[in-house]
Chains A and B, each alone.
Chain A
């Protein structure tokens, strides 16, 4: 036979550790770490038969409900009958050296432990799910019964007593292993973590060592490829981003048109609605205050701070009207929208991962805000012009982004265009038509009518923004897409 089952790179652990923790008998144990090492998974594609025992063992080990999978088995196929090859990729968390989940977390719920485990602390998680966007492997998952994100911790409670992870212990063919890796050496060359249909290992310096079979066909497809499905719309986020951007756009109109007081009031109201609305996005809204902890690295924390400040400053601008206070509030709003957009510029979400997202977020505010002011205070050339430019730039940025994605052969890039062109065609036509009409009417028609079309265009655009993203992910099995994008 042509394959090799890779032995678990372990020896019997010292008896002492086991007895200390009340464990009297068990399988092979872990070697203790030397300086500069961490633990990691290994996976031998040639030895895996796709039996899913690892997934069941993981669910049992961690008491997970059936709809929450910390480990998933993907399928990759290629070749012509009868020389067809189908290989499986059983993947859990890669316990990366540069964990993107950790970088983005606003509450500091993630921690890279000394043993290499990327640990997630449930108590600190507010269920914002930002980590699920950041991870290019879509490893962290929102667990509905807990309303927080959870993920594989390499069976940390087992590692702590020198036991191997449950999936490793359950694999009938020893395809999954656990071993020690020299962190510096791996950082220098982590190509061993690359495999067909996996995101490039360099994005986060994945540590999982994947042993590829030598007869892997040149051209392969993942069994889940066919199931391009729209993602969650994240409705609270649709409204929060729109409202904060509109508020900023109103302030822009107010500053440009000298209508500081009514503009500030409108902006204050919009921001005041937006902030509590954002809580609806959270699994644990009562813990929202923790979102300010991550200012040093998380754009989510910065966004929260900026818009908190923005709401206060628009309020101040109502009480103390004037160009200075209004301009100051506008400046904070622009920064807030920038922070907001930066949230989405993550490699794990290719359709968002572009400066065009920033342009679009700013333009959305400009497309609606000035028209709102015109509807309240009466139209002016400046407001009309700002709105027309806003709608125009928003539409142009949207189309430019789609053109960028359509030209890219990578599955997740093209995928967004495929969705917009196919499944989401009608909303997309609405978005473009309403956007064009908004430009024209903003210049020559009643501002109220223009406002309706601009709002329709931007709401649809924002909804499309969320649902048409195709996240980077590990390859899935045939049924992933049939059950929803996150399986």
Chain B
């Protein structure tokens, strides 16, 4: 009887009991499974906008994400990644146990092996034999602790992060102009500016929750400079469809018009900058006609933009990877700074050169990390800074390194030439994200010992000798700092799966095994202990956290640094350089003049198209997380290449066809053709999220000489139809 009644039940049942609604006290009626027992206030772990999220938990599961209605950044709204972020926590493909040589081992065995191997190699070959590459996605407390562990505990020389693939040029550019890093503006400024120029920034796809700020700005002129007609470009009042890498020419052209028509702020230039006369001479050749022709834009549009910017009471420039991902990224950033400086557009509402950065806590590692600079924007080559840190930490000054060591791409080179023999990769997936994948894979294959800490199985963990399973967003405590310097809390809502541990725990554990825990991390138990030390270490520095406490972040919904202890302004400091005093020795900002260099990998008969790479709203970086969220995968399941209708006609391609993309470095296939007039004839666009059709098999090993950031955005490729 039972099977029959079960059969009958199955025939009649429509699963209605799985689809019932319950009332959440805060958000009202919702599918019952998504009504949590409690909401945990936290900050999104994807991009650097830093949206406030309420993460709902039911028992030991994360069941819902809602925008925090009280958060100053996003006022209750989220992008699709944020809205589904709880699904990353229980996703498939999580790492649950340490794996040594593909075999599960205990944490003891794993960390013993790691410390032994690192010690063996540094003893035999010196501290240069082991390198570390971290990320922009740990909490600030972990970055601070990790820097001390790597530089002082392990005593390593080569330590960098995937932030070099992301915003290193913004850092270097700020340093060139202002003496230190630090984005001077706030999101509110996007809404306040009378003229806003966005360069290589498709926020509609990549920072969606900044679009409301653009929409709030009803009075100003929005200019977008981008070779692609992105959704952001379509929102613009003036879209400058500049040729790739012509942004320097464009900026020089605007600067020349401003000087010619006397739309510069002489008073500000005289009082707060140096280098004006050299700049004036350097831009002299950039006539309107020359610039318009080089950039491929209307001369009238160029003049309109220069006038709008020059005549604006409040003018602002914002940029993202279109600028940073270039061999001239640093200099382009410096030139953007220059444009703002000569018009006095800095330190006031609605102004500033504003780098909208990439990862959720790239800012945290910029400030506290020990990679490109020392904690608190201190310089390796400044003896006073080294002494200051030695005193703060109570260690011998000789232990503070005098050199930053190799940057990310140079670490890869050192692996290739055999000088670096072991690598610890933390929270990043270089196999997919580093340019020229063939070289990267060769390098990782050469290592004697590769350790990878990650929350998920990735193509990089596949290559690892030792895999350390990490707690991810939602499973650990700390703070993130967003693009506008706002320090927000991230909270642990659920336990990590299996034996996975937070990086903070692992860092302390390794220090313990090295016998340096009491020295480096005295009495530390929880991330807040690291934060409290960091407050002291940052005191008096440009990125001063001394006035920021967990309690105050909670009360004010995030605090923007700098914030000194006496500071009582709610929410911290919205803008830097309000007094026109910069962090250079003489307090003056530097006006840099820059000449453009041509694209190295020029299209040619064998590789006739210029490939641009970038993102789509549904995915994050290498899809380690978003690829495990079913609804995001449904929305963007595979890579596509955007190609202009004229080119498609010429190649006999139609939308939906499968093609192979080939550069002199490698090829990817199959890629679906999307015919669209959003790209210029001769140029194509490929998203870089997909391991399966990895854009970085095509990109070149070209790096900015200063920031060491890769040139992801211009590669010459051929397109070949695949016959199904």
Contacts and interface: CB of A to CB of B under 8 A. Distances in A.
Interface of A: 1-3, 5, 21-27, 47, 49-53, 55-57, 59-63, 65-67, 69, 77, 79-86, 122-123, 125, 127, 145-148, 155, 157-158, 160-161, 163, 166, 169-173, 223, 225-227, 283-287, 477-479, 481-483, 487
Contact of A483 (B28, B204, B217, B634): B634
B529 interface: no
B702 to A, nearest CB: 27
B231 A49 contact: yes
B300 interface: no
A84 B229 contact: yes
Given A63-B19, A172-B208, A157 B656 contact: no
22 contacts: A1-B215, A3-B235, A24-B25, A27-B76, A47-B215, A51-B617, A61-B34, A66-B630, A66-B633, A82-B229, A84-B678, A86-B234, A125-B14, A146-B14, A157-B21, A161-B28, A166-B30, A226-B675, A284-B12, A286-B8, A479-B637, A482-B656
B113 interface: no
Given A57-B83, A227-B656, A122 B14 contact: yes
The 7 closest A-B pairs by CB, nearest first: A66-B630, A82-B241, A63-B31, A286-B11, A226-B655, A157-B29, A163-B28
B19 A146 contact: yes
A478 B19 contact: no
Contacts of B78: 53, 170, 172
Nearest to A149: B14
A271 to B, nearest CB: 23
Most chain A CB within 10 A, of B23, B204, B635, is at B635
B677 interface: yes
B33 A63 contact: yes
Interface in B357-381: none
B237 interface: yes
**Listed residue (A49, A50, A478) with the most chain B CB atoms within 10 angstroms of its CB:** A49
B215 A161 contact: no
Contacts of B638: 479, 482
B633 A1 contact: no
Contact of A62 (B19, B26, B640): B19
A170 B430 CA distance: 34
Contacts of B26: 23-26
B11 A285 contact: yes
Contacts of A25: 25-26
Interface string B41-67: 000000000000000000000001101
Interface in B114-130: none
In this complex, the interface size class of chain B, counting residues with CB under 8 Å from chain A, is: 35 or more
Interface of B: 8, 11-12, 14-16, 18-19, 21, 23, 25-34, 64-65, 67, 69, 74, 76-80, 83-84, 204, 208-209, 211-212, 214-215, 217-218, 220, 222, 229, 231, 233-237, 239, 241, 617-618, 630-638, 640, 644, 654-656, 672, 674-681
A146 B15 contact: yes
A81 B642 CA distance: 13
Contact of B77 (A63, A157, A171): A171
A65 B634 CA distance: 11
A419 to B, nearest CB: 14
A379 B660 CA distance: 60
Nearest to B674: A478
A83 B677 CA distance: 9
Contacts of A226: 654-656, 675
Contacts of B633: 66
A12 to B, nearest CB: 14
Nearest to B631: A66
B631 A55 contact: yes
Q: Specify the main secondary structure of chain A where it touches its partner.
A: loop
Contacts of B80: 51-53, 55-56
Contacts of A23: 23, 25-26, 28
Contacts of A5: 212, 215
Contacts of B28: 21, 23, 26, 158, 161, 163
Nearest to A164: B28
A421 B689 CA distance: 37
Contacts of B220: 1
A198 to B, nearest CB: 20
A24 B18 CA distance: 26
Contact of A482 (B12, B217, B672): B672
A80 B19 contact: no
B14 A148 contact: yes
Contacts of A82: 229, 233, 239, 241, 680
Contact of A487 (B77, B632, B634): B634
B211 A81 contact: no
A236 B124 CA distance: 74
A81 B681 contact: yes
B156 to A, nearest CB: 41
B458 to A, nearest CB: 22
A475 B212 CA distance: 25
Contacts of A477: 635
A24 B239 CA distance: 46
A424 to B, nearest CB: 16
A429 B528 CA distance: 74
A160 B29 CA distance: 9
Contacts of B239: 82
B456 to A, nearest CB: 19
B23 A22 contact: yes
A155 B23 CA distance: 13
Contacts of B69: 27
Contacts of B214: 1
Nearest to A54: B80
A465 to B, nearest CB: 25
A65 B19 CA distance: 11
B15 A145 contact: yes
